[in-house]
Amino acid sequence: MRKEKKRSVAILGATGMVGRRFAELLINHPWFELVMLVGDKSVNECYESVWRRKEAQLQGHYGGDAWFVRPFPEALKEVRVSSFEELLNSTSVDLVFSSIQASFGHLESELLKNGFTVISNSPYRRLEEGVPLIVTEINGNLIEDQQYIKNPNCVTSGLALTLAPIAQRFGLKEVSVVTFQSLSGKGDAKYPRDLVVGNIYSLHGSEERTEEFIVGEIQKLFRDQIAISVSCNRVFVQEGHLVDVKLKTVERISGVDEVIGAFREFDPLRHLGLPSGGHRPLLVTAERGRPRPRQDASHGNGFTVCVGGIYVEDRIYDLRYQFVVNNVVRGAAGGAILNAEMYHLRSPSGKNNKSDESYRPSYK
């Protein structure tokens, strides 16, 4: 049953690209009241000024015909950027959404030690034993009474949603993945233009460690039951990752319709009444040349993953398909908000749990 009392929430890393999308998605949320936007270098600055400056910098760097500025939401006008110290000393914030870089992950640990519940999109500690890695539709049952909840990498978020119904229906043995990831996956950090304009930039061996993250996260979500190979690339697209998937199943697939049925029937949040769970997780397109990022990254307000190119007559693999996931919504801020909604549904409401007792992880 829904809880009527709104939880007061803060965003740590609110001035970054994912933080800005968090802010958009939380405006007028029926369960959460956004009370604090926390930044670093822009503390006490007007949030609108930071937003407009960062969006303009991205458009200036990549070009107006390639990068479209996201308009500032008027509901956040006059809001200023708060400091981490203000958040740490707050007694009104019930939970914190975090989108900080891994290098600032110690701030999450500090919040945990001070009794805050943290719902995090940061790669910091994602793969540690004892830290729940959650895609709500797949293992949201693990959320109850947790203080620290992670959602995975943007590609992993979409990939896990497409693998789950196939694994359930046919079983999975091997998965091969090639990604074509948009520029917004880098956040406000900007690639040198010669790497990406009219080009494809391979992320293999790069400092982003994307391939490593996807492999580790899929193995954690599916408990090491799937052998997976991943190759990642960056392409000159603003938003939406296109991912090519080839896999071998345990049981034989009789035809494309059987796969489409598995995708369309997968909707485990349907009856829970989560505000962001009203969008179907998967949408199947039969149109040739689809899915495509520009056309298919915004289904269900960005929460829906679009699947197409389904093929079952490959000479090596049992199934091939492609999907587009909105990397900023489903793969980042939206995924964390879904986890927070499940947390709100399953956990007692109330103020943060500040106490003198330090946070103790469940792993050794």
Does residue 181 lie in a domain region?
A: yes
Does residue 211 lie in a domain region?
A: yes
pLDDT the model gives residue 174: 97
Q: Is the pLDDT of residue 358 over 50?
A: no
Token pair belonging to 247? 């896999």
Token pair belonging to 186? 């880098």
Q: What is the rounded distance in angstroms from the CA atom of residue 153 to the CA atom of residue 141? A: 20
Same domain assignment for residues 300 and 160:
yes
pTM of the model: 0.93
pLDDT the model gives residue 144: 84
Same domain assignment for residues 338 and 303:
no
What is the mean predicted confidence (pLDDT) over 325-350? 91
Packing angle between helix 334-346 and helix 17-26, nearest 10 degrees? 50
Which amino acid appears at position 248 of this protein? Answer: K
pLDDT digits (tens, 9 = 90+) for 138-181: 999 999 889 999 999 999 999 999 999 999 999 999 999 999 99
Token pair belonging to 296? 């298919």
Q: What percent of the chain has pLDDT over 90?
A: 91
Q: What CATH number is attached to the domain comprising 12? A: 3.40.50.720
Same domain assignment for residues 174 and 312:
yes
Q: Is the pLDDT of residue 135 over 90?
A: yes
Least confident of 116-120, 218-222, 227-231, 276-280: 276-280
Token pair belonging to 326? 């909105």
What is the mean predicted confidence (pLDDT) over 193-220? 95
Of 282, 325, 91, the closest CA to residue 185 belongs to 325
- On the 0-12 / 13-18 / 19+ scale of CB atoms within 10 A, 260 is middle
Same domain assignment for residues 126 and 184:
no
Same domain assignment for residues 101 and 191:
no
pLDDT digits (tens, 9 = 90+) for 28-43: 999 999 999 999 999 9
What is the mean predicted confidence (pLDDT) over 237-244? 98
| 291 preceded by a cis bond (ω within 30 of 0) | yes
Q: Is the pLDDT of residue 10 over 80?
A: yes
Least confident of 109-113, 332-336, 354-358: 354-358
Same domain assignment for residues 141 and 167:
no
Does residue 74 lie in a domain region?
A: yes
291, 285 Cβ separation under 8 angstroms? yes
DSSP assignment string, 272-327: T--TTTTS-SEEE--STT---HHHHS-GGGGTPEEEEEEE---SS-SEEEEEEE-T
Same domain assignment for residues 58 and 142:
yes
Kindly indicate the confidence band of residue 349, based on its pLDDT and cuts at 50, 70 and 90. low
Kindly indicate the confidence band of residue 348, based on its pLDDT and cuts at 50, 70 and 90. low
Q: What phi and psi, each to the nearest 5 degrees, are found at residue 259?
A: -70, -45
Same domain assignment for residues 79 and 170:
no
Kindly indicate the confidence band of residue 5, based on its pLDDT and cuts at 50, 70 and 90. confident
Same domain assignment for residues 136 and 182:
no
Q: Is the pLDDT of residue 119 over 60?
A: yes
Q: What CATH number is attached to the domain comprising 158? A: 3.30.360.10
- On the 0-12 / 13-18 / 19+ scale of CB atoms within 10 A, 356 is exposed
Does residue 215 lie in a domain region?
A: yes
Q: How many structural domains is the chain composed of?
A: 2
Does residue 364 lie in a domain region?
A: no
Domain that holds residue 221: 154-326
Same domain assignment for residues 314 and 166:
yes
Does residue 196 lie in a domain region?
A: yes
Kindly indicate the confidence band of residue 356, based on its pLDDT and cuts at 50, 70 and 90. very low
Does residue 351 lie in a domain region?
A: no
CA angle, 313 then 318 then 323, to 5°: 90
Same domain assignment for residues 58 and 136:
yes
Q: Is the pLDDT of residue 61 over 60?
A: yes
Q: Is the pLDDT of residue 18 over 90?
A: yes
310, 256 Cβ separation under 8 angstroms? yes
Same domain assignment for residues 147 and 159:
no
Does residue 54 lie in a domain region?
A: yes
